[in-house]
Amino acid sequence: MDTDRFRVRPSQRVDLQRYDPADTGRFERKEQAAGKLEKDLERLVALQRKLYAHHQWALLLIFQAMDAAGKDSAIAHVMSGLDPQGTDVHAFKRPSDEELDHDYLWRTAKVLPERGRIGIFNRSYYEEVLVVRVHKDVFAAQKLPASLVTRRIWRNRYEDINAFERHLARNGTVIRKFFLHVSKEEQRKRFLDRLDDPAKNWKFDAADLRERERWDDYMRAYTSAISSTSTKDAPWFIVPADHKWFARAVIAQVVIETLETLDLKFPPLSKSHLTALADARARLNLPPSQEGSSVPRHHHR
């Protein structure tokens, strides 16, 4: 699969209408992609182990989308086999009073992944140029000094985000950003599914319909944000999301390709560590009755 065609080039002016949300590439059916995804997930697990052991890079994956685009299920499926010890998932909803009393990057900056770990943001600081831009009352709640709220406010935020991501990249955090591009019609079907299936009723929120009414406003906000913040070090990928199975396949391959560029290796072992391993092997190969009488070589005088 050529994932490069989903990547937004730096300074590229995005037109979301030119991206087909129902695109499935060379796959005609879900079953055709299932085998590939299974192998990719195995590869991803192996790469995560190396990332954790290598302990120099961190990987930050950012997911943004309209409601019902499949962010939660994509994260759950693609990251299903990863070791929880090396993975952190954070979902960002309406900010608390404490978070509103800080700059808008504060709540995400404090949970960035450590070296060796994969951090997953289900929504992120990009909400500050999306929902905050669409809803003036949300923006007003941030209580910015009036002198700072100029006609350049959104451009200023793009510049701040680009500088923040450049800083992270220069310090070993690799960033990949995914916009799950779902069509308005597919969203309608998924909302109806939530209403029709008692097991999914809990997923539906009346506020989702109010957000749907602002669809065009959101598309303009996404277009502007993606066009202004896709960089070499922190690129956006516009992922077709009308078919969840294809979105998962694209995301998995992008993550694998990203990790494979890092030349990850298990750390070399010191001479003393190798000696300790040899001692441990020798002791474990002794008959059980003799294990307690063996003395490790590194304790010899």
Specify the CATH number for the domain of residue 177.
Answer: 3.40.50.300
Clarify whether residues 250 and 295 are in a common domain: no
Residue 289 has pLDDT above 80, yes or no: no
Residue with tokens 């289900």: 122
Clarify whether residues 117 and 192 are in a common domain: yes
How long, in residues, is the chain?
A: 301
DSSP-derived 3-state class of residue 185: helix
State both tokens at 135: 């809803």
Q: Using a pLDDT cut of 90, give the percent of the chain over it.
A: 79
Residue 301 has pLDDT above 50, yes or no: no
Determine the average pLDDT of the residues in 5-15: 96
Average pLDDT over all residues of the chain? 93
pLDDT band, very low/low/confident/very high, at 291 (cuts 50, 70, 90): low
Q: What is the CA radius of gyration of the chain?
A: 23
Which letter does DSSP use for residue 235 in this model? -
- Within-domain flag for 29: yes
Clarify whether residues 62 and 149 are in a common domain: yes
Q: Are 176 and 62 in contact (CB under 8 A)?
A: yes
- Within-domain flag for 16: yes
- Of 96, 97, 90, 95, residue with least CA distance to 111: 90
222: enclosing H helix or E strand: helix 215-229
Residue 220 has pLDDT above 70, yes or no: yes
* Tens digit of each residue's pLDDT (9 = 90 or more) over 52-111: 999 999 999 999 999 999 999 999 999 888 888 899 999 999 999 999 999 999 999 999
Clarify whether residues 184 and 280 are in a common domain: no
State both tokens at 73: 């299920």
Clarify whether residues 29 and 110 are in a common domain: yes
- Within-domain flag for 267: no
Clarify whether residues 244 and 288 are in a common domain: no
For residue 219, the one-letter residue type is M
Task: Indicate left, alpha or beta for 55 from its phi (over 0: left) and psi (-120 to 50: alpha).
Answer: left
- Within-domain flag for 31: yes
Residue 293 has pLDDT above 80, yes or no: no
What's the total number of domains in the chain? 2
What does the pLDDT read at residue 292? 62
Q: Using a pLDDT cut of 70, give the percent of the chain over it.
A: 96
Integer CA distances (angstroms), 261 to 19, 115, 166, in order: 27, 16, 18
244: enclosing H helix or E strand: helix 244-260
- Within-domain flag for 266: no
What does the pLDDT read at residue 132? 97
Determine the average pLDDT of the residues in 269-291: 83
Clarify whether residues 208 and 98 are in a common domain: yes
Clarify whether residues 190 and 59 are in a common domain: yes
What does the pLDDT read at residue 202? 87
Residue-range definition of the domain harbouring residue 53:
3-260
Q: Are 272 and 53 in contact (CB under 8 A)?
A: no
DSSP-derived 3-state class of residue 178: strand
What does the pLDDT read at residue 204? 86
- Within-domain flag for 56: yes
- Within-domain flag for 268: no
pLDDT band, very low/low/confident/very high, at 269 (cuts 50, 70, 90): confident
- Within-domain flag for 207: yes
Clarify whether residues 245 and 278 are in a common domain: no
Clarify whether residues 54 and 203 are in a common domain: yes
Burial of residue 100, with CB atoms counted within 10 A of its CB: 0-12 exposed, 13-18 middle, 19 or more buried: middle
164: enclosing H helix or E strand: helix 153-170
- Of 280, 235, 300, 266, residue with least CA distance to 62: 235
Clarify whether residues 104 and 139 are in a common domain: yes
- Of 108, 240, 224, 77, residue with least CA distance to 175: 108
Residues 6+ apart with CB under 8 A from 214: 134
Q: Are 139 and 132 in contact (CB under 8 A)?
A: yes
* Tens digit of each residue's pLDDT (9 = 90 or more) over 82-94: 888 899 999 999 9
* Tens digit of each residue's pLDDT (9 = 90 or more) over 118-177: 999 999 999 999 999 999 999 999 999 999 999 999 999 999 999 999 999 999 999 999
Q: What is the pTM of this model?
A: 0.91
Clarify whether residues 186 and 298 are in a common domain: no
